[in-house]
Structure 1
Amino acid sequence: MAPQLDLIGTVVTDMARTLDFYRRLGVDVPAGAEAEPHVEITLPNGLRLAWDTAEMVRSFHPGWTTPAGSPRANLAFRCADPAEVDRYWKELTGAGYHGELPPWDAFWGQRYAVLHDPDGTGVDLYAPLAGN
């Protein structure tokens, strides 16, 4: 059997702020999780998403340092329709989160937007345009 993608993990500097961001996207994060150094949830599609504080990562990888520059990976969230892309964009940027690229109708047939979570991880929002 080949390895299967099972979990996506990111390192965070402010667990509470990060979990607030993902809760606003509708991710079901348990209450009180913001006090933990490691938080892991299973999404409805079975994929697991996890967040670790930098201190937690350094507890088993003492040489770990915060990456610099633009993110090399983005998490992409499919929305129900183009209006939902716009709604989440407005809600998250209105709450003070960084909007990298405002919603637009992409040439590949999707309404698309790019945000950053509190640690700079790219978070894409997308939905098929009518007829696609």
Structure 2
Amino acid sequence: MTPQLDMIGLVASDLPRTLAFYRALGLDLPASADAEPHVEVTLPGGLRLAWDTVDVIRSFDPGWAPPTGGHRAALAFRCADAAEVDAVYARMVDAGFAGHLAPWDAVRGQRYAVLHDPDGTAVDLFADAG
């Protein structure tokens, strides 16, 4: 069997705040998940997105430390159109989450914006401009 990408795992320093961010983006995460040390959701298409507390990671990797020196990964959320990119970005920033790059017309005919989740992971919003 060839290995297949099944899950993207993120480490959260403040899991309830991180889950609030992803709920605000539209992921269906129950409020009860805020008290759990590991949370995952299956996305359309079957890929899983998961979050663990720092304590969970250190339970099997005692020397784990957050990465330094910039971000090496980003998550990208497709929006229906350019107006939705603008609206979601504004809603997230108005809710107190970190906006990084306000919406702009990117090359390749896309509307793009970048947020940061509470742990600094880049979260792109994009839509075909057409």
TM-score by shorter chain over 0.5: yes
Q: For residue 18 of structure 2, what is the aligned residue in structure 1?
A: 18
Secondary structure at 1:63 match in 2: coil
Q: For residue 98 of structure 1, what is the aligned residue in structure 2?
A: 98
Q: Could you tell me how far 1:31 is from its partner in structure 2?
A: 2.4
Q: For residue 2 of structure 2, what is the aligned residue in structure 1?
A: 2
- The percent identity for this pair of structures is 65
Secondary structure at 1:119 match in 2: coil
The CA distance in 2 between the partners of 1:91 and 1:124, in whole Å, is 14
The CA distance in 1 between the partners of 2:43 and 2:29, in whole Å, is 10
Q: Could you tell me how far 1:98 is from its partner in structure 2?
A: 1.0
> After TM superposition, where is structure 1 displaced by more than 2 Å over at least 4 residues in a row?
none
Secondary structure at 2:104 match in 1: strand
- The structure with the largest helix share of the pair is 2
More moved, 66-75 vs 10-19? 66-75
CA offsets 1:19-64 (integer angstroms, 9 cap, x no match): 0000010011122101011001101221100000001100011010
Instruction: For structure 2, list consecutive stretches of 5 or more residues without a partner in the other structure.
Output: none
The CA distance in 1 between the partners of 2:116 and 2:45, in whole Å, is 23
Q: For residue 115 of structure 2, what is the aligned residue in structure 1?
A: 115
- Report the count of equivalent residues: 130
Q: 1:29-48, aligned counterparts within 5 Å?
A: 29-48=29-48
Instruction: For structure 1, list consecutive stretches of 5 or more residues without a partner in the other structure.
Output: none
Query: What TM-score do you get using the length of structure 2 for normalisation?
Result: 0.97
